[in-house]
Amino acid sequence: MHILSPYQKIEGTEWYKGTANAIYQNIHFIDKYSPTYVAILSGDHIYKMDYAEMLSYHKAKKAACTIAMLEVDWNEASRFGLMLCDDDGTITEFEEKPENPRSNKASMGVYIFTWEKLRKYLLEDEANPNSTNDFGKDVIPAMHKAGEKMVAYPFKGYWRDVGTIESLWTANMDLLTPSSGLDLDDPSWKIYAKSPSVHPHFVSDKANIKTSMVSKGCEIDGNISRSIIFANTTIEEDSLIESSIIMPGATIKKGAKVFYSIIGENAIIDENATIGAIPEKDASNFGISVVGENTHIAAGSFVAPNKMIDEEGVEVDIK
């Protein structure tokens, strides 16, 4: 693995201008390996995919570009870049977040390119002063317009883009929902994580835990429901955690309440403070509450939904 920061450039001093420009600026690095194919993957998605199977599909179709495709609910389709395909999977049209979708085949932002082809279009894209240097907006439409062979690779399984606060919260809650498809303990494909070298978690007889994950090093005396509790967290007695994510080292003190929230690392929620709220069925403006890392929320305070308290103690609107 190589980490290529924006400081390693072909020329100039500019940061990456877009997803395509990030690859363009590292063309020399890729060329050193003389690849036949290149996979371009997003870094903020959660899914499990065998890329070898997608590559085999790309080769069999003799494609210049293969785009991983997931069929989404028609009610959600307008949130995605969509593809229209013929019977053999060849992409005939693209729709970028259309108001009235004609397809529910959504791009996952996972691509395999034949490198010779991609290299050509990256150079052309960089030379175009009107380009935003983005794969979805510029490079892929340019390839399609030029008549390159482009196909959709059908993917079935769990996938979520976690580019927002709400989607990050939802993905964690999916861990607690067996029907979500997100299974860390699938015997055929386990997901491993770095485990802290600390004592096992301790749950006292004062605690009450329902449908939650509790990591090592935690000391639990409070009440927890449908929540993810990371390592070395302290939940004191008479506190209440519901549908929330508590990051490592956080402390929830006596009588505090945390609802539908994300609490940052080493944050302290003092006695009788309330973070977030339980949504009402008709609350259209409901959102997640966030407390930044190393932040101290004073006793008796209230942090409303769609609000974040940052490390400086400043309240910021999330939406």
Instruction: List the domains of the chain with CATH numbers.
Output: 19-161 (3.90.550.10), 202-317 (2.160.10.10)
Task: Express each pLDDT in 164-185 by its tens digit.
Answer: 899 899 999 999 998 998 888 8
Predicted confidence at residue 78, as pLDDT, reads: 87
Integer Cα distance of 207 and 223 in angstroms: 5
Q: Long-range contacts: 161-166, Cβ < 8 Å, 24+?
A: 161/42, 161/44, 161/45, 161/109, 162/44, 162/45, 162/46, 163/44, 165/262, 165/287, 165/288, 165/290, 165/308, 165/318, 166/287, 166/288
Task: Express each pLDDT in 241-279 by its tens digit.
Answer: 999 999 999 999 999 999 999 999 999 999 999 999 998
Beta carbons of 105 and 85 less than 8 angstroms apart: yes
The mean pLDDT of 209-217, rounded to a whole number, is 96
